[in-house]
Structure 1
């Protein structure tokens, strides 16, 4: 049986490694600039670099997450290697979005990754199912994500789950210097 659990601070190093593995698969390894510390702060809202931090402390959400309210806004589920509970087989990193039309939150899946040796065993589907359950349990109206147009294996899996491409929408992004320029106008 595949067991999906919430990520813990102890998982962050392996999750960061999987983010880099995913970037390599997506032909963009040079684009990952996030550090383990960045991921730790985003997920758990604590400044883990501070001298006061003891990794055995219980995690509190009253920390220094880089959000308007200081609380973590990014979440993650992981699956352990069935033969070695110290190793992760896969992960899903996600956050909430909001639909003004529906008047409810939704889940946005940022990264779904299952290591190659574990693919085809239902782990990706188990992570997706867990995220769908988050939506159902909280009365969220949607669950969405992006997929690269050349990633046919993933597209086929998503279609088999009932996902539909939103071809009428185009994604835009402002980042880097353009983001700074826009903010200063």
Structure 2
């Protein structure tokens, strides 16, 4: 049996990626798909455009930075679309409840529309009831179908996986 390997995706892999993504979507219950040409173009755009993937939106009040939203585009979301993933939204404690968070969220929604995103997603701590209340006003719902994981000691874990005892 040949050894298992990994490599970075290359443009020549696009047709294979499209097939695998359609299979994954079927696994999650999708029954309709955009035309193959559209999916191939979306894969090319989302995987092979030069982009560092880190974006930061700042909110200012009287030229003072009072809030920020850090986000990235994740792919794939639904089919071959992308989502805007809000990593952090923060408003300075002294400037909360002044509409700054709302402005940042509205701006991110506009960015998501401009970038043909199918979703805008984020997480918040379960104990952060203020944030949960804030996010609910946009019509979002907390998902009970997802578990959030975090690996912080991945260097050690990676070595253990590559060199089992």
Q: TM-score range by the shorter chain?
A: 0.5 to 0.7
Inter-CA distance 121–133: structure 2 relative to 1 (3 Å threshold): same
Range moving further from structure 2, 149-158 or 100-109: 100-109
Q: 1:181 to 1:152 in 2, by over 3 A?
A: same
Q: What number of residue pairs does the alignment pair up?
A: 115
- Checking the alignment, whether the CA contact within 8 Å between 2:53 and 2:72 is kept in structure 1 is yes
Question: Which residue is 1:91 aligned to?
Answer: 68
Structure 1 portions without partners, runs of 5+: 1-67
Q: Gaps (5+ residues) in structure 2?
A: 1-47
User: Does 1:73 find its partner at 2:53?
Assistant: yes
| Distance in structure 2 (CA, Å) of the matches to 1:163 and 1:145 | 10
CA change 1:128–1:167 in 2 (3 A) is same
1:147 alignment partner, one of 118, 124, 130: 124
Indicate the residue corresponding to 2:103 in structure 1: 126
Comparing both structures, which one devotes a greater share of its residues to helix?
Answer: 2
Distance 1:142 1:179 in 2: 31
Task: Give the aligned partner of residue 144 of structure 2.
Answer: 167
The residue aligned with 2:158 is: 180
Name the SS for the 1:143 alignment partner. strand
CA RMSD in angstroms, aligned pairs only: 2.2
CA 1:179–1:126 in 2, change beyond 3 Å: closer, same or farther?
A: farther
Larger Rg belongs to: 2
Secondary structure of 1:181's partner?
A: helix
Distance 1:159 1:98, change over 3 A: same
Q: TM-score, normalised by structure 2?
A: 0.63
How far apart are residue 183 of structure 1 and its match? 6.0
Residues 102 and 141, structure 1, Cα contact 8 Å, conserved in 2:
no
